[in-house]
Amino acid sequence: MNTTSDQRGLFGVSGSGDTSGYGGLVRTKVSPGSSERPYGGYFDDVADSLERAFPEFNEAIEKVVIDRDQLTLHIRPKKLVEVAKILRDELIFEMCLGATGVHYPSDTGRELHVVYQLLSITKNQRLNLEISVPAAAPHLPSLTGVWASTNWHEREAFDMFGIVFDDHPGLTRILMPDDWPGHPQLKDYPLGGVPVEYKGATVPPADERRAYR
């Protein structure tokens, strides 16, 4: 079943006469629910392999979503490494293109999500893995032991969102200074107001910088 929610932001309003870019966008977002078989194409082959590996399918795979011709497997955190190894070794997804953090404050108990984008060069196939964890305990197993290319991407997700990847070989900040307070891409992180020391000035929040009245 699809779910809807309001998504709020600073940019994107049209037709209001506001040319500043800070119009307070509000739009309805539709989140697709679990898809049903047959999925079509190689999506069913992926699901078949995982069903053979995990007879209790729901213990490993929370749901399967087909949306905009993309396959996304929602994985339970404790089974993430096992699923990743099957995808790499049996289904030949040799490459992980990145790990992206997402913050959904209204998704109670699952506020932080990580999305891994996988590519099979051999078969010219793609899929996504999505995992969610609570903001109060944002721990996931690292996939650096499966795909070494996730190293810096997991560090960025840690730096920007505060997601902790257990067993990562060097989980330190990669963009912000080591002593930086907080994680800048969380939705509740304050905008602006950071002192610009070499000028002795401060930067106000983005929605307060300019006004066209």
The pLDDT tens digits of the residues spanning 138-160 come to 999 999 999 999 999 999 999 99
Each domain of the chain, given as residue ranges in start order, spans: 33-182
pTM score of the predicted model: 0.81
Q: At a CB cut-off of 8 Å and minimum separation 6, what does 155 contact?
A: 168, 170, 171, 172, 173, 174
CA dihedral for 173, 174, 177, 182, sign (positive or negative)? negative
Structure tokens at 34: 């679990």
Q: Which CATH class is domain 33-182?
A: alpha beta
The pLDDT tens digits of the residues spanning 103-143 come to 999 899 999 999 999 999 999 999 999 999 999 999 999 99
Residue 53 host element (H or E): helix 42-53
Whether 52 contacts 110, CB under 8 Å:
no
Tell me the C-alpha distance between 41 and 70, whole Å: 11
- DSSP-assigned letter for residue 134: -
